């Protein structure tokens, strides 16, 4: 959990208390390979929104690898682990209703339009539409 998720939680809790109809919360997760999330923290964050009676959705997941200083094999492993951990957090939270990526291939990612992110490669297929280790880690997370 961080300042943004805490602020959104407080806002949703207050809005519900005031009778404002809110049914769910979408979590945009533009993650960075240099700061991997902790699965149990992601899961706890999802659960606390669920305890408010809200449906939880992962609406935009990608993992920016631009600033990760490692060889390609290590970069792939870091990214694959992040995708795996977030998917497992969603499943294990028992309140996460949907899990969506913000794109499929590194060839067509929004990072391509941001200056300073030439090596973001944030998605589960490379620019040639070949599955990356992140693709396989998502499948493994679903098979458990």
- At residue 79, the pLDDT reads 98
Residues lower than pLDDT 50 in the chain: none
21: exposed, middle or buried (C-beta count within 10 Å: 0-12, 13-18, 19+)?
exposed
Give whole-number Cα distances, 12 to 5, 38, 40, 135, in Å.
Answer: 10, 23, 21, 33
Q: What does the pLDDT read at residue 1? A: 78
CA dist 108 and 116 (Å) reads 16
CB 124 within 8 A of CB 135: yes
Q: Which helix (H) or strand (E) holds 97?
A: strand 96-101
Q: How far apart are CA 69 and CA 91, in angstroms?
A: 30
* List of domains in the chain: 26-143 (3.20.20.80)
What sign does the CA torsion over 84, 107, 114, 28 have?
A: negative
pLDDT tens digit string along 107-143?
Answer: 999 999 999 999 999 999 999 999 999 999 999 999 9
Specify the pLDDT at position 115: 94
pTM: 0.95
Please give the Cα distance from 129 to 109 (Å, whole number). 12
User: DSSP assignment of 26-65, as one string?
Assistant: EEEEEEETTSPPPHHHHHHHHHHHHHTT-EEEEEEEEEE-
Residue of 118, 144, 120 whose CA lies nearest to 132? 120
> Would you give the distance in Å from CA 76 to the centre of its chain?
16
């Amino acid at each position: 959990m961080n300042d943004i998720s805490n602020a959104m939680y407080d806002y949703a809790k207050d809005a519900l208390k005031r009778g404002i109809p809110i049914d769910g919360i979408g979590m945009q997760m533009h993650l960075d390979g240099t700061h991997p999330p902790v699965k149990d923290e992601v899961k706890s964050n999802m659960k606390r929104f669920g305890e408010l009676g809200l449906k939880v959705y992962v609406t935009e997941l990608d993992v920016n690898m631009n600033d990760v200083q490692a060889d390609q094999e290590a970069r792939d492993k870091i990214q694959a682990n992040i995708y795996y951990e977030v998917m497992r957090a969603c499943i294990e939270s028992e309140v996460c209703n949907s899990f969506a990526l913000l794109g499929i291939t590194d060839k067509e990612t929004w990072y391509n339009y941001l200056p300073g992110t030439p090596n973001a490669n944030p998605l589960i297929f490379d620019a040639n539409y070949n599955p990356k280790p992140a693709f396989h880690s998502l499948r493994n997370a679903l098979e458990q």
